[in-house]
Structure 1
Amino acid sequence: MTGPGRDRLRELIDAVLDEDHRTLHDMAHGAYSSPFHFSRRLARDAGEPPVAMRRRVALERAAWRLGRGASVTEVAFEAGYGSVEGFARAYARAYGHPPSDTPRAVSVSGSAHWLPAPNGIHFHSPDGLWVEGTGGTSAAEVTALLVHQDVDDVRALVDLAKGLDADAYARDRLPGFTLLHWAGPEGSIKALLNRCVGTYEIWLASIEGADHPGRIAEDSDAGELSARLDAVAPRWLGWVRETERRGAWGDRLVDALCDPPESFVLGSVLAHVLAYSAQRRGLVRALLRQAGMEVGEPVRPGGPPDPVRDGDPIEWLRRHAP
């Protein structure tokens, strides 16, 4: 009963936490499984028997509700207990104090209502789940993901642009449009993509002390831009890795290619590239759709949208996560 691309473990957890599934039989039935195999799979993959998981998450929700001022009686029956006394005993065993002593601070203290969990799965207000990661992710790692996703997405858009004829590629679809006052007009798919790739080239030239790379020739096509991207992308990604390794994001570059020369903090250079590349990529998608291309449409009839064509970092990470 699991459709293509569905996460079977997530379906089993959904069955555990469905508010209509009060018993193990209900949970297993909701997951189209036998109680035996359902319990075995959850205990193996989530490290916690289904009934224990449901009871714990229900108690976490109860603690959150109590912290927001709900009555003990109201919360007890919401949690599926047949009596207030039974709920109070279970709550006291779990939290070390009776439900009536739950502090109001629980409602604003994030994870304060969480109980120990072997799988990191917890109640998250108002009716969701929070799954703790297996390891910490630093801001630097998040930035690295955005840098890689940016390059991959530019490449995906350049590949799509190869399907346009020369006129459609170079047509000025946004007459007079200027994203940055010093960058010149960017009203065509060609101009926007050229600026995405050219930005990597220009900043690397400044960083490496090389000559200004110049602008792409007027008669060039998306295939030539693709070759430029293939050449510059490894260098750009390598510079980001090396700067991170040296902890040099606070270093300052004096850019002699500017007239007059200007100085830039390296961290601000990377932020600039990512911010304006994201804007250009969004505009390119809109213009590709205007040109009649199916950007973000399903790869196959009835299938899910192509995450690469959507340009969403969330979907990109799902495709590239280990």
Structure 2
Amino acid sequence: MGIARDGLRGLLDALVESVETGGSGEEVAARVHVSRFHFDRIVAGALDETPGAFRRRLLLERAAHSLAGGAGVGEAALEGGYLSPEAFARAFRRAYGIAPSAFAGSGLPFRLPSPNGIHFHPPGALLVAGGERSETMDLTDRLLEHDLWLTGRLLDAAEELPADTLAEPLDVEEETIGSMLERLVWSKEMWTAAVEGRPMPERREGSPECLRKRLGEAGPAFTQIVRDARARGAWDTAFVDATCEPPESFTYGGMAAHVLTWSAHRRHLVLEALQRHGVEVEHADPLGWERSDRA
């Protein structure tokens, strides 16, 4: 769409706010600190829809959803931003092909055709098509990349603590901050070795800097294994883990779910320990991470 996701989100936020609060085009543009001309040009280029048309469509979709839920025409007209039911009825008929009074029993969807895949999503949000928010990332990518990103941030944060603090026991699992960080890295090394038929690597503690170097190798290797399984549709395909005694078989899907589940648990324990020592890690939650630069 030719605009960065965060930039587009800022425009959407301003437009969505205008759905609730009203305001002229100049006022909406001022909220994102651009001129009306540039706001209209950027939105039209990004969404293939002018701000006015985008806003009117969302308001009509919201009104149609209300009609389907039993609202009267007058109430829906107000939700649609129309001063009179007559003007609302004319606009509604042009968009949906029927009178608003007949919509509830028509079985028609409340969403109108959209050039950008963005729609009103009840009770009052936006539904953004995946292709409009991301070019390639699906849920697997998000989980893998957030895991690696946050593990790296935890290692960066751990460098602020002295060695004796990293060696302090955690409240659970008989681990320390340092050993739990090492385990986050080692689990990827271990499962990569299992899939590739190599001997199980030994656990070896080290400084956050050393662990980051290991993560730089183990993280991409493990990620590639999971992505290959996804590409081949091999989630249910089993492999033999010869590092177990005796050897056991696991599916690729089960292995990926196991690693990501326990990584999330261990990251949370480390986050809590760091916070107790006054070290904060921003964007630890995937929602914040997705909207950050993810550098």
What's the TM-score bracket when you normalise by the shorter of the two chains?
Answer: 0.7 to 0.9
Amino acid at match of 1:170: A
Pair 1:227-2:200 in alignment: no
1:14-43 C-alpha deviation (Å, 9 max, x unpaired): 46424332x546545666666555544443
Question: Would you say 1:312 and 2:285 are equivalent positions?
Answer: yes
Aligned-partner Cα distance in 2 for 1:231–1:194: 14
Secondary structure of the residue that 1:54 maps to in structure 2? helix
**Compared CA separation, residues 126 and 256, structure 1 to 2 (3 A):** same
Match in the other structure for 1:58 = 59
What per-residue deviation string (whole Å, max 9, x for no partner) do you get for residues 158-203 of structure 1? Answer: 22222222210011131xx23xxxxxx33x2122112111111221
Letter of the 2:259 counterpart: V
Q: Sequence identity of aligned pairs in percent?
A: 39
Query: 1:71-86 residue pairs with structure 2 within 5 A?
Result: 71-86=72-87
Q: Which has the higher contact order (CA 8 A, sep 6+)?
A: 2
- Inter-CA distance 269–33: structure 2 relative to 1 (3 Å threshold): closer
Aligned to 1:96: 97
- The residue type paired with residue 99 of structure 2 is P
State the shift of 1:315 in Å: 3.2
Structure 2 CA distance for aligned equivalents of residues 33 and 189 of structure 1: 47
- How far residue 155 of structure 1 moved from its aligned partner, in angstroms, is 2.0
TM-score normalised by length of structure 2: 0.83
Contact kept? 2:147, 2:264, Cα under 8 Å: yes
Aligned partners of 2:59 and 2:80 also within 8 Å: yes
Q: Highest Rg: 1 or 2? A: 1
Report the equivalent of 1:251. 237
RMSD value, Cα: 3.1
SS in 2 for 1:122: strand
Residue 191 (structure 2) pairs with residue 191 (structure 1): no
Deviation of residue 231 (structure 1)? Answer: 3.2
Match of 1:241 in 2: 227
User: Shift of the alpha carbon at 1:138?
Assistant: 11
Question: In the aligned structure 2, how far is the partner of 1:51 from the partner of 1:164?
Answer: 53
1:131 lines up with 2:144 in the alignment: no
Residues 259, 11 of structure 1: alpha-carbon distance in 2 compared, 3 angstrom cutoff: closer
Aligned to 1:129, the other structure's residue is in SS state strand
User: 1:148-227 maps to which residues of 2 (within 5 A)?
Assistant: 148-174=145-171, 177-178=172-173, 185-186=174-175, 188-216=176-204, 220-227=206-213
In structure 2, do the counterparts of structure 1 residues 42 and 236 end up closer, same or farther at CA, with 3 Å as the change threshold? Answer: closer
Is residue 47–residue 118 contact of structure 1 (8 Å, CA) maintained in 2?
A: yes
Deviation larger for 35-44 or 230-239: 35-44
- Paired positions, count: 288
Aligned pair partner of 1:274 in 253, 257, 260:
260
- Is 1:189–1:284's contact at 8 Å kept on the other side of the alignment? yes
Q: Measure, in 2, the Cα distance between the counterparts of 1:30 and 1:260.
A: 64
After superposition, the C-alpha distances for 1:215-257 in whole angstroms (9 at most, x for unaligned) are 215xx43333333323322322232233334333222122232
CA 34–69 in structure 1, closer or farther in 2 if over 3 Å, else same: same
2:114 to 113, 117, 121: 117
Question: Cα–Cα, structure 1 residues 196 and 8, in superposed 2: closer, same or farther, change >3 Å?
Answer: closer
Look up the SS of the partner of 1:88 in the other structure. helix
- Distance change >3 Å, CA 197–CA 68, structure 1 → 2: same
Unaligned runs of 5+ in 2: 1-5
Q: Does 1:9 align with 2:3?
A: no
**Matching residue's letter, 1:246:** R
The aligned amino acid for 2:151 is V
Structure 1: which 5+ runs fail to align?
179-184, 297-305
Whole-Å separation in 2 of the counterparts to 1:233 and 1:25: 48
Please list, as runs of the form range in 1=range in 2, the aligned pairs for 1:35-54 lying within 5 A after superposition.
36=37, 38-54=39-55
Q: CA separation in 2, counterparts of 1:35 and 1:292? A: 45
Cα deviation, residue 64, structure 1: 0.5
